[in-house]
Amino acid sequence: MRKAMTALAIVAFALIPSGAAVSFPIRTLDGSQNNERHPDWGRTNTEYSRTTWASYADGVGQPLSGPPTRSISNRIFNDTSQNLFSEHGVTQWGFVWGQFMDHTFGLRQETDGENAPIAFDAADPLESFRNDFGSIAFSRTPAAPGTGVGHTQRQQLNTVSSYIDGFSVYSGTPERLEWLREGPVDGQLANNGPKLLLDDDGYLPRRDARGDAGTAPTMAADGRLTGRADRAMVAGDVRANENIALTATHTLFAREHNRIVDSLPPELDSETKFEIARRIVGAEQQYITYNEFLPSLGVTLSPYRGYDPKVNASLSNEFAVVGYRAHSMIHGELEQEAEVADYTAAQLAGIRAQGVEVEVDGDEVEFVVPLNVAFFNPDLLKLIGVDAMLAGIGSESEYKNDEQIDNQLRSVLFQVPVPGNPGCLDGPTLPSCFHGVVDLAAIDIERGRDHGIPSYNDLRRALKLRPKKSFTEITGEFTDLMPADPEIDATDPIDDPDILDFVQLFDRDGNGIELGSEAADTEAVVGVRRTTTAARLKAIYGDVDNVDAFVGMSAEQHLPDAEMGELQLAIWRKQFEALRDGDRFFYLNDPALETIERDYGITYRHTLGELIRLNTDADVADDVFHVPPAG
């Protein structure tokens, strides 16, 4: 019965059942058959596309060598706890929506890869963290079948659909979808209800929601869910618990699906209701991505000219492994405000006990959640509340998309603090809270080498951009020389921690900010260090042509109206145009959406702020992607 259900559920463009109120082709769950000429384009478990040839040391699959990646991270990506914010006032929805979309169209195969730990040098003069494991865990992405052998270059698989199709809400298999939908789990989607399963409070179900957690869909369970996988919330994508902002966004769209179902005439059959709601949710995500998310970051695309069956929408390796890894945007903490009356004293004490800063001011309470406390912590989401969480994401600026990555990601990603929680979960005291290191910046660089991504200049050439001839040309700075500064050891300056000192800070209007002041923590947009990024890059790489693509892209000077430099912008434009032009069901090309709106009065044309208001009691503006004006 299970096999029969699978065959039925992924059949190409299956029609709504005969006799139903509407009849239109529907998306397959796994993305197959979207392109009739190339039915595997964009399908789950197919190879990433490539913009150019892979670059391996042996031409086949051996990663290129380069400077140690933790060493690069310590000297280039270390923000030394100095916040720098988005120059255009983009809120934390920039990185939260970015991650939600990432989990919609990309997930490399992660099992059975060769172990290749990243070196950790405890004696590095710029190392401030303790690592009892001795190295940073890293596994190569397994080679796609038939690649990396003989003369065939190693390729990698994308395990999810490449389309913006609501995958993270609904999944890519009928087995997982059946568990997510109301009704029995018996191998027959036909007897499931039209709604998605939520708990009594309107949150995503836990793995034990149907009784035996052992039969529930797999969910990634790291950090605070380690050893407690049954407490993970379940969604279409396995990563939904990675942080509470992401989990809240998943919750929002599960609620939105059910809201749409409730808006449909009761006489419609369950499958018709389900597919209408799924179609609208996918279109809403596309609408928000192309009309709010991309414009907020300054990503402009060529005019849309309709569906083009010659365009392969499959995610490119260069996009997935370099271009879309904008991890410096991620804020080191999440802040929410709510009414004190919404919480009991015991609840506030429980939130505070987890390492959250709780400040009560009259009738209001403010929560400041360090990012490591937000990792894999669905219990905390329920304690704080999805309304406060979704509103808070849109009230604070995200970090600047540059070469600086917060230590919450750059050193203690998904790590659990030492027993006793000494209250040092953020800022300069962070190292004393952890005895293990997981460095996302080092992993990003290593992953590029693992996947055979060409060097920075070679990738620029592949995207028809002129290669850079100097380090200052990359960064836009005035020099790539180490300064004659008495604070810096002239014998080997790249190993002197003082090279990372900030000496000047400026706000969005170019006004100077006093170092160490409150404004330095909340308003700084530009920071000047004792050494330029160009000087440190030169000391590490020697030659511009040696720079790793991820490092060079992250260090690039931003274009005037964008939150990124030339290379990253070119990668994003190429991929998001392909995701638009190569999708037969893109919202501007989908007549079913007009039919649904005409017959049932349901539209996909909602801003993210409108969707939050429709599904919660949060008071947010239509535009949640830009920081609200002062006052």
Q: Is 9's pLDDT higher than 90? A: no
Q: How confident is the model at residue 417 (pLDDT cuts 50, 70, 90)?
A: confident
Q: What is the largest CA-CA distance in the chain?
A: 82
Residues 492-529: pLDDT tens digits?
A: 999 999 999 999 999 999 999 999 999 999 999 999 99
What is the C-alpha to C-alpha distance for residues 332 and 521, in angstroms, rounded to an integer?
Answer: 11
128 pLDDT exceeds 70?
A: yes
Is residue 454 scored above 80 in pLDDT?
yes
> Residue 6: its pLDDT value, please?
35
pLDDT (tens digit, 9 = 90+) per residue, 172-225?
999 999 999 999 999 988 899 999 999 999 999 999 999 999 999 999 998 889
| pLDDT of amino acid 436 | 85
The count of other CB atoms within 10 Å of the CB of residue 67 is 17
Res 424 pLDDT > 80: no
Helix (H) or strand (E) holding 288: helix 270-288
DSSP-derived letter for residue 47 is E
Q: How many percent of the chain have pLDDT more than 70?
A: 95
Q: For residue 5, is pLDDT > 70? A: no
Query: pLDDT tens digits for 456-481?
Result: 999 999 999 999 999 999 999 999 99
Q: Give dist(CA 488, CA 477) in Å, integer.
A: 19
**If you ran DSSP here, which 8-state letter would residue 85 be given?**
B
Cα 476 from Cα 556, distance rounded (Å) = 7
The sign of the torsion formed by the CA atoms of 306, 311, 314, 320 equals: negative
- Does the structure show a pLDDT above 50 at 17? no
420 pLDDT tier (thresholds 50, 70, 90) = low
The span from the CA of 260 to the CA of 536, in Å, is: 53
Percent of the chain with pLDDT over 90: 86
pLDDT confidence of residue 435:
84
pLDDT at res. 19: 39
Instruction: Using alpha carbons, select from 333, 544, 515 the residue that is nearest to residue 456.
Output: 544
pLDDT at residue number 22: 52
Q: Which amino acid is at 66?
A: G
pLDDT of 564:
98
pLDDT digits (tens, 9 = 90+) for 293-338: 999 999 999 999 999 999 999 999 999 999 999 999 999 899 999 9
Q: Kindly state the average pLDDT of the residues 90-116.
A: 95
Question: What is the overall mean pLDDT for the chain?
Answer: 93
For residues 348 and 629, which has the higher predicted lDDT (pLDDT)? 348
Q: CB-based burial of residue 113 (10 Å sphere; 0-12 exposed, 13-18 middle, 19+ buried)?
A: middle
pLDDT per residue as tens digits for the range 27-82: 999 999 999 999 999 999 999 999 999 999 999 999 999 999 999 999 999 999 99
Q: Compute the distance between CA of residue 400 and CA of residue 564 in angstroms, rounded to an integer.
A: 9
Q: What are phi and psi of 368, to 5 degrees?
A: -120, 110
Across residues 359-384, what is the average pLDDT?
94
- pLDDT tens readout for residues 180-194: 999 999 998 889 999
pLDDT in tens, 142-154: 999 999 999 999 9
Within 8 A by CB and 6+ apart from 176, the residues are: 217, 236
Fold of 1-455+549-631: Myeloperoxidase, subunit C (1.10.640)
Q: Which three-class secondary structure state does DSSP give residue 365?
A: strand
90 contact partners, CB below 8 Å, separation of at least 6:
296, 297, 329, 397, 398, 563, 625, 626, 627
What is the pLDDT confidence band of residue 414, given thresholds at 50, 70 and 90?
confident
Q: What does the block give as tokens for 97?
A: 């929506």
Provide the terminal-to-terminal Cα distance of the chain, rounded to the nearest Å. Answer: 61
pLDDT (0 to 100) of residue 630: 73
User: What is residue 602's predicted lDDT score, i.e. its pLDDT?
Assistant: 97
pLDDT at residue 428, rounded to an integer? 79
Rounded-to-integer distance, Cα 282 and Cα 163, Å: 10
Residue 420 DSSP symbol: T
CB atoms near residue 613 (< 10 Å) = 18
Reported pTM? 0.94
Is it the case that residue 361 has pLDDT exceeding 60? yes
For position 468, what pLDDT does the model report?
98
pLDDT confidence band for 576 (50 / 70 / 90): very high
39 CB burial (10 A radius; 0-12, 13-18, 19+): middle
The residues near 523 (Cβ < 8 Å, ≥ 6 apart) are: 85, 507, 508, 513
Average pLDDT over residues 370-383: 93
Q: In whole angstroms, what is the distance from residue 423 CA to residue 133 CA?
A: 23
Task: Identify the band that residue 12 occupies on the pLDDT scale cut at 50, 70 and 90.
Answer: very low
Closest CA to 162 of 578, 448, 588: 578
pLDDT of residue 416: 73
**Residue spans per domain, the chain:** 1-455+549-631, 481-531
Instruction: Decide: residue 466, CB within 10 A, 0-12 exposed, 13-18 middle, 19+ buried.
Output: exposed
Amino acid 236: pLDDT: 97
Round to whole Å and give the CA distance between 332 and 369: 9
- Dihedral angle of Cα 170, 174, 180, 181, to the nearest 10 degrees: 100
pLDDT of res. 24: 85
